[in-house]
Structure 1
Amino acid sequence: MAQKSKDGATSALGQFYGYGIQEARFLHHLLRSGPGDTVALECIDDVSGVQNGEKYAEQVKSGLAHNPISDRSIDLWKTFANWLNGRRSGKIPAGTKFILYVAQPYKGKIARKLSDCTAKQDAKAVIAMIRKEFWGDAPHFDKRASIPEKLAKHVNVVLSASENAFIDIIRAFTLECGVGAPYDEIAQEIASAPVGAENVEQILQRLAGWVRTTVFARIEKGHPAVVSRDEFHTEYVAAVRKFDRSDTILPSYATPPTEADVQAELLLDQTYLRQLHLIGAEQETVYDAINTFLMAATDRTEWAKRGYIHRSSLAEYEAALKRVWASKKMAVKVQMRGKPPEDFGTLLLSSCLEASIPLQGKTVSTHFTPGSFHKLANTLDVGWHPDFASLLVPAGGVADVA
């Protein structure tokens, strides 16, 4: 009796773990979704939804007790049999993408071959290989009778299906294997956004709790367990704002340039450096300008690539810098009346480089504002010497400076 109780408890725990994997995948899909997307639990599959206008159906396997994608795994062939039956009955719409997610990092030769197929001819070749392995050579198929009954129940459904129907599923099929800890994968997804690492666990717990209570509420009302990305995103933003304050700071991805980088920049004789030479800037000031100019360029690229800022925000930021420059220029003009132009330019430069201007409402690193001023100086949108516009007119062009 004790053994039976223990086995029963183990089985129950395995089922609980399996349901937990489904919840984790549900949350993971929501985190990776975009505007207008939806994610559903236990509708047309374990997890399903619409992403970028495309429907998908996902089977979720815990892999806790055995490898569910081994070549002769009942789980593997039952999955494909269910998808074929779902397509045949109309429960699974045409054009649906199919995903088999295994929480553990298992391997399966046939499953991987099926996942790698994209061309019709490749899919046909894999089907022929599978038939030969399980059924033997045509036309007698003498191996078919020796397939274990429980496995044959699903393998034979798959191999007896219309070849075109099986090919359609194969070409739409993707195998995903986890690392054995689905919530760790979700934590990595959250950490990939600009949030403080110390807050990831709190944000994850908040989102996981929200998903569970939201799904329960849908079920209790007799509604499908479907959550839109838009309602989830509202909760996600609220969680980040509650637990994380790093969303007020744009993280820098720039590193100081090497000496070789600095020397290469000097050889280019860029306009922003010529601007500094006009006011007799010291070597230290020139080197600092190169550092901030290059580091700011790196951050602009990384922020745009990672989606931290919108490209329109950079234009707005540069417009703000030009307003600051124009304002400070008027103040310096009064303060330095009668002084040498080099002194005028040095004070204007110093005043601008001390400015602290947020980008998209967020604080930037200390090198970014100075580097952005030098970027504007490089295009002659701003300048330090009072006559920079006439002294540094590009060849064949006319500087347009307010």
Structure 2
Amino acid sequence: MATKDDQFEATASALGYLYQFAKALQLCIEEWVGGLDWSVAVEAADDIEKHAGSLTELLQLKQRADGVRLTDSAPDLWKTLRIWSEAAKAGRVHLPETNLFLMTTAQLPAGSAGYYLEPKTSGHRDEDKALALLRSARQASKNEQLEKAFKAFDELEAEGAVGQAALLSRIEVIGGAPRIDDVREKMLGHAALAVGHELAKPFLTRLEGWFYDRVIEQMRAPGGAPITGEEFDQIFSDLRHQFGPNNLPIDPDIAEREPGPAEAADKTFVRQLDLIGVGSERIGLAVRDYVRAFEQRSRWSDDKLLRVGELGRYERKLIEEWQARFADMREDLGPESTEEEMRREAKLIYRWVDREARAQIRSGLEEVFIPKGSYHMLADELRVGWHPDFTARLAALLEPAGAR
């Protein structure tokens, strides 16, 4: 049975990964503003690895509770030094072309090693003082869990090794870093510049969804390809286009949804198709279009992406296009038509919906499941139909049980 400590560790670990992903996405957005000659990877050589030209940046991220301080003997500090010391010794990091960042939400006490390793812009960077403090802390510490870290740092001073001072010259410690909520708030500001304040949140939510899926893909494959500036530019620009005034975003999880026919077997629109003899395979395709359109339209509504009255105007347009064809069919059939003739003509109406009806809510949309699925939504409410007598034959399905 999981203990409270286990639950705390799991929560902290999950939050750490979310923080890591959020910072990596923020880094991509900020790099994108300046150009496209860069790449970013997560959990590759470090928490975050960035390349720009010949320069490499490795970031270690630590999100900690309020009030935590990064002292000279803090495990966060020494575990990070161990990672970088071992990488430098093994030649996995070429220090002259690598900047190392320890970014923590913890505070840096004045006069601490972390304090003296803050960026030069702080006005108090002093690598010699930082080194002296680290050596003193290493000698005074009795923490057996840090022995491997101390050893790795010591070995930098071995003959032919890179040296502790050389490593510290490439390290910047950033304390009091923005927490995950602050990081997201800053990204919302960037999103607002791209699509406006009203659309910023749904825009960022979709960008995050793509980014997290992409990072997981990169992490799963050994040596997985990093996210490049060109790739990010394409995704960001395409998403921004989807939020334009003549467009709406089509969400991949919905557009790729493959529901089974059973998901809508009891729906009225399925009864409409049964009524005219549509086969099971085509009914399955109709269910897919219905589910996708229903879910996408619902998400647009939930995200407040639709204008006032927009769906109503769209459905009126669909109904009026159907009305003309349906009236023609009934006129051509006449009152003496057989059931076989009515089914044949009804299938032609439905074939038009399935293959030709492509009116969209906005002109920039192209996904055909929107008009096709929207017609099935209307058919489900008996606002349109295919069989000449669909209203009389199916209206009973919508009657309350007590009225029958």
| TM, length-normalised to structure 1 | 0.51
Cα pair 2:115 2:173 within 8 Å, conserved: yes
Cα pair 1:78 1:155 within 8 Å, conserved: no
* 1-structure distance, mates of 2:38, 2:229: 5
| Pick aligned residue for 2:8 from 4, 10, 17 | 10
Write the mapping of 1:229-308 to structure 2, written as runs, cut at 5 A: 229-243=229-243
Give the equivalent residue in structure 2 for 1:44.
45
Q: Please state how far the C-alpha of 1:207 moved relative to its aligned partner.
A: 1.2
Cα pair 1:18 1:61 within 8 Å, conserved: yes
**Partner of 1:69: helix, strand, or coil?**
coil
Write the mapping of 1:3-402 to structure 2, written as runs, cut at 5 A: 4-33=2-31, 34-64=35-65, 67=68, 69-94=70-95, 95-102=97-104, 104=105, 106-108=107-109, 109-116=112-119, 122-135=126-139, 143=140, 147-159=142-154, 161-162=156-157, 165-176=163-174, 177-180=176-179, 181=181, 182-191=183-192, 193-220=193-220, 222-243=222-243
Give the equivalent residue in structure 2 for 1:396.
none
**Partner of 1:161: helix, strand, or coil?**
helix
Q: Please state how far the C-alpha of 1:155 moved relative to its aligned partner.
A: 3.5
* 1-structure distance, mates of 2:51, 2:177: 22
**Partner of 1:32: helix, strand, or coil?**
helix
**Partner of 2:93: helix, strand, or coil?**
coil
Structure 1 residues 9 and 130: alpha-carbon distance in aligned structure 2, compared to 1, 3 A threshold: closer
Moved more, 91-100 or 107-116: 107-116
* 1-structure distance, mates of 2:173, 2:130: 15
Structure 2 residue runs without a partner (length 5+): 247-404
**Partner of 2:41: helix, strand, or coil?**
strand
* 2-structure distance, mates of 1:219, 1:129: 36
* 2-structure distance, mates of 1:67, 1:156: 26
Amino acid at match of 1:158: F
Cα pair 2:47 2:58 within 8 Å, conserved: yes
Cα pair 1:67 1:73 within 8 Å, conserved: no
Q: Please state how far the C-alpha of 1:244 moved relative to its aligned partner.
A: 5.0
Moved more, 10-19 or 210-219: 210-219
Q: What are the Cα deviations for residues 91-142 of structure 1, in whole angstroms up to 9, with x where unaligned?
A: 223321101122x3523432121224699x942343124323543xxxxxxx
Amino acid at match of 2:136: K
* 2-structure distance, mates of 1:168, 1:245: 54
Q: Please state how far the C-alpha of 1:211 moved relative to its aligned partner.
A: 0.9
Identical counterparts, % of pairs: 22
Structure 1 residues 112 and 244: alpha-carbon distance in aligned structure 2, compared to 1, 3 A threshold: farther
Structure 1 residues 230 and 156: alpha-carbon distance in aligned structure 2, compared to 1, 3 A threshold: same
**Partner of 1:115: helix, strand, or coil?**
coil
* 2-structure distance, mates of 1:25, 1:225: 19
Cα pair 1:84 1:165 within 8 Å, conserved: no
* 2-structure distance, mates of 1:224, 1:64: 32
Q: Please state how far the C-alpha of 1:76 moved relative to its aligned partner.
A: 0.7
**Partner of 2:108: helix, strand, or coil?**
coil
Q: Please state how far the C-alpha of 1:245 moved relative to its aligned partner.
A: 5.2
**Partner of 2:117: helix, strand, or coil?**
helix
- After superposing on structure 2, the runs of 4+ consecutive aligned residues of structure 1 that deviate more than 6 Å are none
Cα pair 1:115 1:170 within 8 Å, conserved: no
* 1-structure distance, mates of 2:169, 2:245: 44
Q: What are the Cα deviations for residues 320-351 of structure 1, in whole angstroms up to 9, with x where unaligned?
A: xxxxxxxxxxxxxxxxxxxxxxxxxxxxxxxx
Cα pair 2:49 2:56 within 8 Å, conserved: yes
Q: Please state how far the C-alpha of 1:86 moved relative to its aligned partner.
A: 0.3
Root mean square deviation of aligned Cα: 3.0
Q: What are the Cα deviations for residues 281-327 of structure 1, in whole angstroms up to 9, with x where unaligned?
A: xxxxxxxxxxxxxxxxxxxxxxxxxxxxxxxxxxxxxxxxxxxxxxx
Amino acid at match of 1:178: A
* 2-structure distance, mates of 1:11, 1:209: 25
* 1-structure distance, mates of 2:166, 2:29: 28
Give the equivalent residue in structure 1 for 2:325.
none
Structure 1 residue runs without a partner (length 5+): 136-142, 247-402
* 2-structure distance, mates of 1:188, 1:175: 26
Q: What are the Cα deviations for residues 53-85 of structure 1, in whole angstroms up to 9, with x where unaligned?
A: 411111111214883733221111110121011
Q: Please state how far the C-alpha of 1:25 moved relative to its aligned partner.
A: 1.6
* 1-structure distance, mates of 2:221, 2:169: 37
Cα pair 1:196 1:245 within 8 Å, conserved: no
Cα pair 1:73 1:151 within 8 Å, conserved: no
Cα pair 2:191 2:204 within 8 Å, conserved: yes
Cα pair 2:191 2:201 within 8 Å, conserved: no
**Partner of 2:100: helix, strand, or coil?**
strand
| TM, length-normalised to structure 2 | 0.51
